[in-house]
C-alpha cells in the first residue's frame, strides 16, 4: 500500500514537473487541437479511400510553405494556400481522371521539385524547412495556438455542414448521385477540408508524417468500432492519446516528438488489426 502511494506521488510530481514549462503547455494545447481535427477528418479520408490524396496534399503544402518563405511571408499561409488550391483542383477533377493515383503522383513529384527550387534560392530557410518536414511542436507560441484553434474550428464546422452528403456519397455513390447529391461539389468541399487539416497537422508532425495523425488513428478506430459516431470518437481519442503520450515520452527521453507519435500510431494500428474485425464502416449507412 505504502509502495503504491509512493509510486503515485512520484508520478504526479513527474507530471507536474513537465507542465512547469510554458513550451510544454503550448505543445500539449497545439497537439490536442491538431489531433482532434486530424482524427475526425481523417476518419472520412480513410472511409473514402483517399489517403494517398491526403499524403499528396501535405507534400504540395511543403512547396507552398517554402515559396511563402522565399517572398517573406509566414510559411503557414503558403501551406494553406497551396493545399487549398490543390485540394479544390483534385476534387474538381476526381470524376474525370481515370488514373487518379498516377495524376496525384505526378503532381506530388512536381510540388516537391518546386519546394527544392524555392529552397535553392532561399537557403536561409533551410532550418524552417526541416521543421516543416518533420514538425516542431515544441516551438509553437500562443499566437500559433490561436491560429490553429481558429483553423480547427473552421475545419470542423465545414465538415459538420457537409457530413450527411459526404457519408452518403462515400458509402453509396451511385445511389447518392441518383438522389441528386452533387458528388463533385462534395468532393471539392471535402478535399478543401482535408487541405486545412493538413495545414494544422503539419505544424505538429511535419508534412512527411501527416499520415501519423490523419490515417493511423482513423484506420485503427475503424477496426474496433461498429458505428459512425463511435468511430469518430475513437479516432479522435486515439489521435489525442498518441499525441499527448508522444509528447510525454519525448520530454523524458529527449527523442524527437514526431518519432514518438509515429511509433505510438503504428503500435495502436497493429494492435487493432490483431483484434477481431468489427462491422465495416459501410454498414453504418442505414443508421445515418
Decide: pTM greater than 0.85.
no
Cα–Cα distance, 134 to 174 (Å, whole number): 40
H or E stretch including 105? helix 100-121
* Cβ-proximal residues to 149 (8 Å cutoff; 6+ apart), any chain: 33
Per-residue pLDDT tens listing for the chain (288 residues)? 544 444 444 444 455 678 888 989 999 999 999 999 999 999 999 998 888 877 788 778 888 888 887 787 877 888 888 888 888 887 777 655 444 666 677 777 787 788 778 777 766 655 666 667 677 788 888 998 998 899 999 999 999 999 999 999 888 888 888 888 888 888 889 989 998 998 888 877 777 677 788 999 999 999 999 889 999 999 999 999 999 999 999 999 989 888 899 999 999 999 998 887 665 544 444 444
For the chain, list the domains and their CATH numbers: 38-287 (1.10.3470.10)
Amino acid at each position: 500500500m505504502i509502495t503504491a502511494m509512493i509510486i503515485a506521488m512520484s508520478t504526479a510530481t513527474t507530471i507536474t514537473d513537465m507542465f512547469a514549462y510554458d513550451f510544454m503547455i503550448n505543445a500539449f494545447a497545439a497537439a490536442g487541437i491538431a489531433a482532434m481535427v486530424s482524427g475526425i477528418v481523417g476518419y472520412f479520408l480513410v472511409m473514402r479511400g483517399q489517403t494517398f490524396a491526403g499524403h499528396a496534399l501535405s507534400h504540395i503544402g511543403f512547396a507552398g510553405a517554402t515559396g511563402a518563405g522565399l517572398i517573406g511571408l509566414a510559411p503557414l499561409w503558403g501551406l494553406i494556400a497551396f493545399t487549398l488550391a490543390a485540394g479544390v483542383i483534385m476534387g474538381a477533377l476526381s470524376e474525370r481522371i481515370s488514373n487518379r493515383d498516377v495524376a496525384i503522383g505526378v503532381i506530388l513529384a512536381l510540388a516537391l521539385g518546386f519546394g527544392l527550387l524555392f529552397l535553392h534560392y532561399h537557403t536561409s530557410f533551410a532550418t524552417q524547412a526541416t521543421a516543416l518536414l518533420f514538425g516542431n511542436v515544441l516551438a509553437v507560441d500562443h499566437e500559433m495556438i490561436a491560429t490553429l484553434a481558429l483553423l480547427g474550428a473552421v475545419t470542423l464546422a465545414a465538415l459538420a455542414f457537409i457530413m450527411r452528403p459526404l457519408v452518403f456519397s462515400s458509402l453509396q455513390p451511385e445511389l447518392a448521385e441518383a438522389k441528386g447529391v452533387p458528388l463533385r461539389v462534395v468532393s471539392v468541399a471535402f478535399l478543401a477540408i482535408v487541405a486545412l487539416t493538413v495545414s494544422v497537422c503539419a505544424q505538429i508532425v511535419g508534412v512527411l508524417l501527416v499520415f501519423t495523425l490523419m490515417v493511423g488513428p482513423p484506420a485503427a478506430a475503424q477496426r474496433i468500432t461498429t458505428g459512425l459516431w463511435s468511430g469518430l470518437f475513437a479516432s479522435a481519442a486515439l489521435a489525442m492519446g498518441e499525441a499527448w503520450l508522444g509528447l510525454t515520452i519525448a520530454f523524458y527521453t529527449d527523442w524527437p516528438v514526431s518519432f514518438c507519435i509515429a511509433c505510438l500510431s503504428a503500435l495502436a494500428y497493429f494492435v487493432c488489426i490483431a483484434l477481431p474485425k468489427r462491422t465495416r464502416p459501410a454498414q453504418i449507412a442505414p443508421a445515418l
